[in-house]
Amino acid sequence: MKELQLARTLGWFSIGLGLAELLTPRRISKTIGVKPHPGVLRVMGLREITSGIGILTQKKPTTWVWSRVIGDIMDLGMLGMAFGSSHAQRSRLAIATATVAGVAAVDLLCGKQLSRRYPEKKAKGEQGKIPLHKVITINRPAEELYRFWRNFENLPRVMGHLKSVTATNDKRSHWVAKGPMGHDVEWDAEVTQDVPNKLIAWRSLEGADVDNSGSVRFETATGGRGTVVRVQLSYNPPGGVVGAKVAKVMGQAPEKQIPVDLIRFKQLMETGEIAKTEGQSSGRRKSTSAKFDDLLRA
Amino acid sequence: MKANCWFGKNQMQVVEVPDPKILNPRDAIVRITSTAICGSDLHLYNGFVPTMEKGDIVGHEFMGEVVEVGSGVKNLKVGDRIVVPFPISCGSCHFCTEGMFSLCENSNPNALMAQQMWGHSPCGIYGYSHLTGGYAGGQAEYARVPFADVDHVKIPDNLRDEQVLFLSDIFPTGYMAAENCNIKPGDTVAVWGCGPVGQFAIKSAFLLGAERVIAIDRVPERLRMAQEQGGAEIINYDDLDTYEGLMEMTGGRGPDSCIEAVGMEAHGAPLEYAYDRAKQAMMLETDRPIAFREAIMACRNGGTISVPGVYGGLVDKIPLGALMNKALTIKTGQTHVQKYMGLLLEKIQKGEIDPSFVITHTMSLEDAPKGYELFKHKQDECIKIVLKPQL
């Protein structure tokens, strides 16, 4: 845990230096040999204090130690600029620059150690696959919900991004979905598990445009208050992780679509229809609701 | 058809829009005969409700004649005269089946938007921002009523529009506020705000067995109505400190229950008002909970605070210490109108109450924008405006 101790020391150092810059900017200016700029020094002081508090309050202060490294680079840059000023006392400036460079080296070392100790979490799940899990409670018996879902051809009624699903036999089906940039994506899928009224799992077959798998579970809710529906999906987005990010920004990512689809599934099962306002009257051409809707299901 | 639409802060305009259509099997279309401006519409008018869009048709208190029904509506026919409750409710989700209609899980198409702001979404509401569904409202010649098989109460011919129109919102809202007080014989109920909901809360508190009702406001004609129509004792907070007044009138113990029928745009003591108004202007809080704070401080130990007043976002300086140490109960929510409509219609038919007493102005739909101005500034002793598309 040496790196954590070092980080704490740096945290306290940040706060100390920050307070000095904030409270006595003129004296600091004199010490490092530059023309007094109390405003600039106070801002730098605040930055130091923020980094310090960040380091001391986080269990894994990696990011905040790196924020010190960035701060050091800014400081060195400004000191470099100060050498060009006619007011500078070069000998004092040189000492200050050497000191900052020394501290920067320690910061860099500490940051590297912390990053090694606490590596950033990569995408969970299988290699490159994006996992999704959503849950909703529906006030209908599990049998009914299972029956609707097991006939995959029903799904486009509630899932806005699906164009069609065609069952080829009891286990296999062909899916067509709206993909990014107006291109359709298609795949064949196969049911891998089927426990009546409890569980359906499926997986795309060789040659799918989007390699994906999923499952839906139906459990009776506590106190018999409806059925808890748990949907799990994972998919290899076209265009990899970058493609997934783009889709997310465009509002086409399954992360955004699945919650809407589940709400629509619930509405259809409980009320026999899907609540909508598209097509209603208003004193304008297109409503916010319709825009919101488009964004989610484009 | 003509409809009153929101076009920005302080801007309502009656414009020509397309007639509504049946969009879902359980829809119906009504030709509106009477519609009202609600105090909560003023929050839209004053620009305090987010996610309004220019051109939104407003209004959530309306009634009329059924002119078209969807294929899924079996209990309504063309020509039926109905009042439409302001919450849009499916009748079949968990909350609807439990009688909590305003918490319907299926009627808000923008539920995810509301979820982000409030954790969970309430029901859809007519003409009340896109956060609650963006449904077209009822200050118009016609309106589309989703889930019409559940969301209506049929009105017999012997009752006038004015007697039953307020079953859509303010009468049930005042009634539920009083019911939430869990009134026992001998109880004293204090009511903050003598607008229409406050007036119905006063009447309802007596209907539910309160011995005394104390009404708090500063608008003379509203206090007069509370006194003369409602039989309440009154405190004008311009003349008398509300807390001091209530203690004086209740022997120092405080009212057993407090109904806060004011909400997010409260007024109060000048200094406190200035504090909240400034924070609101700087977007440091969205709502001004002045009446709510007063209710917490004045309520007797172990008492109940019922809040029909509308809030939207975040507030500041709530005396949670008082709330906890005084063992208070808070009850609130949008009204479960569908639960009360039948019961209250019966009371009207029996002559126990005539809700038309709150109406001070009747205007044509065309004059709606003028009505908003009048109501907002409480000009001409305005308390409640009814709009008639046929005038």
Segment B103-161, tens digit of pLDDT: 999 999 999 999 999 999 999 999 999 999 999 999 999 999 999 999 999 999 999 99
CA–CA separation, B103 and B122 (whole Å):
5
The minimal CB distance from A277 to the residues B111, B113, B135 is found for B135
pLDDT above 90 covers what percent of chain A?
A: 41
Q: What is the pLDDT of residue B340?
A: 98
User: What is this model's ipTM?
Assistant: 0.91
pLDDT above 70 covers what percent of chain A?
A: 87
Chain B residues inside the 8 Å CB shell of A280: 20-21, 23, 135-136, 144
Q: What is the pLDDT of residue A243?
A: 66
Strands B142-145 and B233-236 turn out to be unpaired
Q: What is the pLDDT of residue A123?
A: 46
CA neighbor of B384 nearest in space, from B197, B253, B111 = B197
What parts of chain B have a pLDDT lower than 50? Answer: none
CA–CA separation, B4 and A202 (whole Å):
51
Residue A295 has pLDDT above 70, yes or no: no
More confident residue, A121 or B360: B360
Residue A246 has pLDDT above 70, yes or no: no
Contact check, Cβ <8 Å, A275/B55: no
| Segment among A174-183, A219-228, B119-128, B366-375 with least mean pLDDT | A174-183
Residue A125 has pLDDT above 60, yes or no: no
Q: Which residue has the tokens 């000023």?
A: A85
CB-based contact, B106 to chain A, within 8 Å: yes
Core vs surface per residue A127-149: b (16+ CB within 10 A) or e = eebbebebebbbbbbbeebbebb
CB-based contact, B100 to chain A, within 8 Å: no
Q: What is the pLDDT of residue A251?
A: 57
CA A254: distance to chain centroid? 14
Q: What is the pLDDT of residue A210?
A: 83
Average pLDDT for chain A: 86
Residue A294 has pLDDT above 80, yes or no: no
Q: What is the pLDDT of residue A237?
A: 73
- Quote the minimal CA–CA distance from A257 to chain B in Å: 11
Banded model confidence at residue A287, pLDDT cuts 50, 70, 90: low
Q: Which residue has the tokens 């001070």?
A: B360
The pLDDT tens digits of the residues spanning A8-33 come to 999 999 999 999 988 998 888 888 88
- Quote the minimal CA–CA distance from A134 to chain B in Å: 13
Q: What is the pLDDT of residue A256?
A: 79
Q: Which residue has the tokens 């490294």?
A: A69
The pLDDT tens digits of the residues spanning A149-171 come to 999 999 999 998 899 999 999 99
Q: What is the pLDDT of residue A298?
A: 47
CB-based contact, B55 to chain A, within 8 Å: yes
Residues B172 and B341 sit within 8 Å (Cβ to Cβ): yes
Q: What is the pLDDT of residue A85?
A: 81
State the Cα angle at A134 between A129 and A137, rounded to 5°. 160
Task: Give the residue on B whose Cα is nearest the Cα of A268.
Answer: B106
Residues B3 and B15 sit within 8 Å (Cβ to Cβ): yes
Phi, psi of B146 (to 5 degrees): -70, 160
CB-based contact, B130 to chain A, within 8 Å: yes
Which is it for the CA torsion B119, B121, B126, B129, positive or negative? positive
Which is it for the CA torsion B59, B62, B68, B69, positive or negative? positive
Burial (CB count within 10 angstroms: exposed 0-12, middle 13-18, buried 19+), residue A150: middle
Q: Which residue has the tokens 């004293």?
A: B188
| Segment among A105-109, A113-117, A275-279, B138-142 with least mean pLDDT | A113-117
Whole-model pTM: value is: 0.80
Banded model confidence at residue A286, pLDDT cuts 50, 70, 90: low
Residue A124 has pLDDT above 50, yes or no: no
